[in-house]
Amino acid sequence: MNKLAALLFAVLMIGALAAEPAAAARSTPRWEVWQVPEKPARANPHNPLANRLWGVYDGPQDQVWAPYLSASGTTKHLIGKVALRPRTKWYGSFVPDALIEDTVRSYIAASQDGDPSKLVQLAVFRMAPWEHEACNRPPSQAERTSYRAWIKGLARGIAETPTLVVMQPDGPFLWCAPNRTVTAKLLTFATKTLSALKRTSVYIDAGAADWCENEKGHDPERCAAILKRTGIRHARGFALDSTHYNSASSNIRHGAAIVRILKRDGFGSKHFIVDTAQNGRPMTWGEVIPSTPGGLKNDARTCSTQKMRRCVTLGIPPTAQPGAARYGMPRDVRHLADALVDGFVWFGRPWLHNQADPFVAQRALDMGRTTPWPGPRTGTPAG
């Protein structure tokens, strides 16, 4: 990225962080997308996440559900701000190849609760090695064979279920791979296989507004290069901010730049989703303060007061209407969201230790108390 482009990006990031959420716009619809289907924006009429209910999983595969059921009073209400909303279930090598098909079928059945039209969400986190281990070695032949078998089992489990798939969170770790061509081919295989399913929409992880490659920042050209290597031609689009904390506005502007690059380079008109589970107080990676001294930024400290900054709390609730005025984003960003963003999706997991496991009740309680967004209304919509 040249100096002028870098300066422009910095100005946009600062403006986006300062502008949202607007104090007067911290509201959600009376009924949320898991209770009443939401219509697509006119600029995005074929949004696959719209015109349908989003399923909420309520079984043992989710770390939040059991604590919610066992809680009472204020604790139950606060944990419910997470538990009652649609979330993306991550699947990886911790589910054996032979079990992934049946495991996913069980997850789908519980998420849909008898309604086969409900949207189900999952993240494919199956690549091995991945993250920092990926920087040290490529996948072995046995790992490659296992990966393909696992993906095929996952595809059989999904079948014709309406499904949102986030492909391999923390996408910029692709650049670490000693033989990234091998890793990229495997990810392309997964993207193509799952995108071929009749009712599945795949969004490949492309990092975040402040992260396209380790130590190299946020150049949208570099983020787009991840997608070109991992099958974006076959996918609905890409996903942003799975483990970072950027504002929705900064991610939307960044995503729009990636869309333009992909179209310029012959990959068609793509859409994207943005994680908003953990950006109720937006911050860049450099601003993150770990929850313990010397700890990991993935385990960023949670907000303990309404005015605290440089901390994590729940962001905009899941929705298929990301450009709605009620979310307080600048007008230009709302227009971009209407045209390019299929939804705000909770595929990040800030209520888990290190965004992985286990569930940490105090994190959920802190975020439930300090989020600028109202909790979900319970009950049954009329009609």
Write the DSSP string, 176-190: G-TTHHHHHHHHHHH
Q: Strand ranges (DSSP E) for 229-366?
A: 237-240, 271-275, 341-345
Tokens coding 60: 């043992």
Query: How far is 106 from 109, CA to CA, in rounded Å?
Result: 5
pLDDT in the model for residue 153: 98
Of the listed ranges 9-23, 179-193, 198-212, 267-281, the least confidently predicted one is: 9-23
Within its chain, how far is the Cα of 88 from the centroid?
7
Going by pLDDT thresholds of 50, 70 and 90, the confidence category of residue 150 is very high
The domains of the chain are located at 3-370
Q: Is the pLDDT of residue 288 over 80?
A: yes
Tokens coding 365: 């309680």
Q: For residue 200, report the phi and psi dihedrals to the nearest 5 degrees.
A: -110, 135
pLDDT in the model for residue 20: 54
Residue pair 354/37 in contact by the 8 Å Cβ criterion? no
Query: How far is 262 from 270, CA to CA, in rounded Å?
Result: 8
Q: Please, what CATH class does the domain formed by 3-370 belong to?
A: alpha beta
Higher pLDDT: 120 or 134? It is 120
Length of the chain: 383
The pLDDT tens digits of the residues spanning 52-99 come to: 999 999 999 999 999 999 999 999 999 999 999 999 999 999 999 999
Q: CA torsion, points 42, 120, 258, 195, in degrees to nearest 10?
A: -100
The pLDDT tens digits of the residues spanning 155-190 come to: 999 999 999 999 999 999 999 999 999 999 999 999
Query: How far is 185 from 193, CA to CA, in rounded Å?
Result: 12
The pLDDT tens digits of the residues spanning 19-63 come to: 454 433 467 788 999 999 999 999 999 999 999 999 999 999 999
pLDDT in the model for residue 309: 96
CA-based max dimension of the chain:
57
The pLDDT tens digits of the residues spanning 325-357 come to: 999 999 999 999 999 999 999 999 999 999 999
Residue pair 175/224 in contact by the 8 Å Cβ criterion? no
pLDDT in the model for residue 217: 85
pLDDT in the model for residue 5: 45
Residue pair 272/340 in contact by the 8 Å Cβ criterion? yes
pLDDT in the model for residue 378: 83
Q: Is the pLDDT of residue 100 over 60?
A: yes
Residue pair 154/78 in contact by the 8 Å Cβ criterion? no
